[in-house]
């Protein structure tokens, strides 16, 4: 049924993990709300990820506090469909008021009074508040250097599904964060010749001294860091739960047959050129790994806890040929490259959000998700309040903060001064008397 100016206190836009968490906290606080989702709950986990993807964190960690993954060992990594199923079951558990198949096409502030008009594919809503939970990774970004060559198949990692989807031949994967590295490894295991373009990255150990890196980031306070270190905002993190969960080790991948190259610089007449920064990028990644191991050792010592030594985690394989003699350029045709996969990240798209909640660069301007436009909230963005904000467990805590803010605002708006309270009491009494009289009439007492 089409909505026609349906009024609601709070509208949540998007029912990924952020929207589901928001709905749970709003429901608990008694805030009337609706969640509008253009597809299905947790759609991106189903249709915007490759087939073999598993969660990057173990099941005990990558979940909401109120529910465990059914039938999954806590140390296992949930396959992506199971992650999506988890959020559907979670929303069902507390009867989240989600309307699926409804796309929000515009949000505008109502002039002269508070609230917003929200236009959707299914009619119009009016809301006092909107929570934008449309995701941190909305629009796949392919850099402008991508060649315009009809003989090449090019796709973003968001459109990659499995090796069989690609034409025969070698593959260049650009970007070595978690997505690019996992896709490159899958392709190499499937027998493809793979070139992986590696930029600056962090690469935590999958596990150290019998604890997953998620645990270490937790106890060391790393998930709670409020800002990325200077110059580190765009450093990608290479981590994977694939094949049971292993530390991403680029040199090992090279020894297994992958060719590593530096940052992809340009394409010209079928020749791709790479920066000569591969060794430096690997060194930075090693330093990041070692610094976490050192911090973990310090924690063990300080707290006197009994965790076994793990010297293997510090092993760095010898530099492979592609690192000692890095490729400067590659002739795509001669090397048989038929496909380029761009694992180069995402942007957000708020073209439908016509409110004063952005800075000069068009980025959401907010404090822990509370935007500068009263009544507009953002949830799920990287570093919204801290490092964990765009991850499953982190978004749940940010949603709690936003729900608290909404509750407080509602309390202010509910405030009435003495005169108003008196008028209200009078009106209530009059209404009560009238209803009492009419009840007496209806029961025939008169
Ligand atoms: C490849 C990959 C792997 C990841 N792995 C992990 C992991 O293992 N662990 C982890 O914690 N995090 C992981 N993340 C990060 C993060 O958890 C996911 O990106 C997650 O999907 C973000 O959830 P969200 O609810 O914020 O956004 P989304 O999942 O993107 O949900 C937003 C929802 O909003 C809807 N929507 C958008 N616009 C509108 C509109 N105008 N009207 C109505 N609805 C709209 C969309 O359909 C979508 O369902 C991963 C991310 C990627 C890209």
- CB-ligand 1 contact for 180 (6 Å cutoff): no
Distance 138 CA to ligand 1 centre (A): 8
pLDDT at 438: 65
Distance 137 CA to ligand 1 centre (A): 6
Closest ligand 1 atom, residue 14 Cα:
34
pLDDT at 446: 36
Confidence grade of residue 444 (pLDDT, cut at 50, 70, 90): very low
Pairing of the two strands 139-140 and 346-347: antiparallel
Indicate the domain borders of the chain: 3-138+348-414, 141-339
The better pLDDT of the pair 431, 42 is held by 42
Rounded distance between C-alpha atoms, residue 143 and residue 327, angstroms: 21
Cβ-proximal residues to 376 (8 Å cutoff; 6+ apart), any chain: 107, 116, 129, 130, 132, 353, 355, 357
Distance 43 CA to ligand 1 centre (A): 8
250: tokens are 């680029």
Q: Decide: 56 and 62 in contact? Cβ < 8 Å.
A: yes
Select from 369, 390, 397 the residue to mutate for testing ligand 1; criterion: most ligand atoms less than 8 Å from CB: 390
Q: Decide: 159 and 346 in contact? Cβ < 8 Å.
A: no
220-274 tens-digit pLDDT: 999 999 988 777 767 889 999 999 999 999 999 999 999 999 999 999 999 999 9
- CB-ligand 1 contact for 329 (6 Å cutoff): no
Rounded distance between C-alpha atoms, residue 186 and residue 258, angstroms: 11
Please tell me the pTM assigned to this model.
Answer: 0.94
| Residue identifier of the C-alpha nearest atom 14 of ligand 1 | 391
pLDDT at 433: 78
pLDDT, averaged across the chain: 95
| Residue identifier of the C-alpha nearest atom 37 of ligand 1 | 134
- CB-ligand 1 contact for 64 (6 Å cutoff): no
String of DSSP letters for 315-361: --PPPPHHHHS--SEEETTTTTEEEEEE---EE---TTEESS-B-TT
Confidence grade of residue 1 (pLDDT, cut at 50, 70, 90): low
Fold of 3-138+348-414: FAD/NAD(P)-binding domain (3.50.50)
Asked if pLDDT for residue 21 goes beyond 50, the answer is: yes
Rounded distance between C-alpha atoms, residue 164 and residue 157, angstroms: 15
Rounded distance between C-alpha atoms, residue 388 and residue 381, angstroms: 10
pLDDT at 436: 72
Rounded distance between C-alpha atoms, residue 351 and residue 106, angstroms: 8
58-93 tens-digit pLDDT: 999 999 999 999 999 999 999 999 999 999 999 999
- CB-ligand 1 contact for 285 (6 Å cutoff): no
pLDDT at 441: 58
Rounded distance between C-alpha atoms, residue 370 and residue 277, angstroms: 40
Q: Decide: 390 and 16 in contact? Cβ < 8 Å.
A: no
Q: What is the mean pLDDT of residues 336-358?
A: 97
| Residue identifier of the C-alpha nearest atom 34 of ligand 1 | 14
Distance 88 CA to ligand 1 centre (A): 14
144: tokens are 């402008």
Rounded distance between C-alpha atoms, residue 282 and residue 197, angstroms: 11
Cβ-proximal residues to 55 (8 Å cutoff; 6+ apart), any chain: 62, 77, 78, 80, 83, 241, 392
- CB-ligand 1 contact for 192 (6 Å cutoff): no
- CB-ligand 1 contact for 387 (6 Å cutoff): no
- CB-ligand 1 contact for 392 (6 Å cutoff): yes
């Amino acid at each position: 049924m089409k909505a026609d100016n349906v009024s609601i206190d709070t509208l949540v836009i998007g029912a990924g993990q952020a929207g589901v968490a928001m709905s749970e906290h709003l429901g608990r606080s008694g805030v009337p709300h609706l969640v509008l989702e253009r597809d299905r709950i947790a759609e991106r986990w189903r249709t915007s990820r490759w087939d073999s993807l598993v969660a990057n964190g173990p099941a005990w960690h990558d979940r909401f506090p109120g529910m465990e993954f059914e039938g999954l060992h806590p140390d296992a990594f949930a396959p992506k469909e199971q992650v999506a199923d988890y959020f559907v079951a979670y929303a069902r558990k507390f009867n989240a008021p989600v309307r699926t198949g409804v796309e929000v096409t515009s949000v505008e502030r109502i002039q002269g009074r508070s609230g917003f008009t929200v236009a959707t594919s299914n009619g119009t809503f009016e809301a006092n508040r909107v929570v934008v939970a449309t995701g941190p990774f909305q629009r796949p970004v392919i850099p402008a250097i991508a060649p315009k060559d009809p003989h090449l198949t090019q796709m973003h990692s968001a459109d990659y599904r499995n090796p069989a989807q690609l034409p025969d031949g070698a593959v260049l994967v650009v970007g070595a964060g978690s997505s690019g590295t996992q896709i490159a490894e899958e392709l190499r295991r499937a027998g493809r010749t793979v070139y992986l373009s590696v930029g600056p990255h962090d690469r935590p150990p999958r596990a150290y001294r019998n604890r997953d890196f998620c645990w270490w980031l937790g106890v060391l306070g790393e998930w709670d860091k409020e800002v990325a270190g200077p110059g580190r905002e765009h450093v990608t993190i290479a981590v994977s739960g694939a094949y049971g969960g292993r530390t991403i080790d680029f040199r090992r991948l090279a020894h297994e047959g992958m060719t590593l190259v530096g940052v992809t610089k340009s394409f010209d007449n079928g020749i791709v050129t790479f920066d000569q920064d591969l060794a430096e990028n690997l060194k930075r990644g090693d330093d990041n790994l070692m610094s976490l191991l050192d911090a973990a050792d310090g924690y063990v010592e300080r707290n006197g806890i009994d965790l076994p030594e793990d010297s293997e985690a510090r092993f760095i394989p010898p530099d492979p040929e592609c690192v000692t003699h890095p490729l400067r350029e590659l002739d795509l045709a001669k090397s048989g490259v038929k496909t380029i996969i761009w694992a180069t990240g995402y942007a957000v798209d708020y073209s439908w959000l016509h409110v004063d909640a952005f800075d000069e660069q068009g980025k959401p301007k907010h404090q822990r998700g509370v935007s500068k436009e009263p009544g507009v909230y953002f949830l799920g963005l990287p570093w919204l309040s801290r490092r964990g904000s765009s991850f499953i467990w982190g978004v749940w805590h940010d949603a709690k903060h936003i729900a608290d803010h909404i509750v407080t605002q509602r309390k202010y708006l509910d405030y009435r001064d003495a005169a108003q309270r008196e008028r209200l009491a009078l009106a209530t009494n009059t209404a009560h008397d009238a209803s009492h009289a009419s009840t007496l009439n209806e029961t025939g007492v008169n």
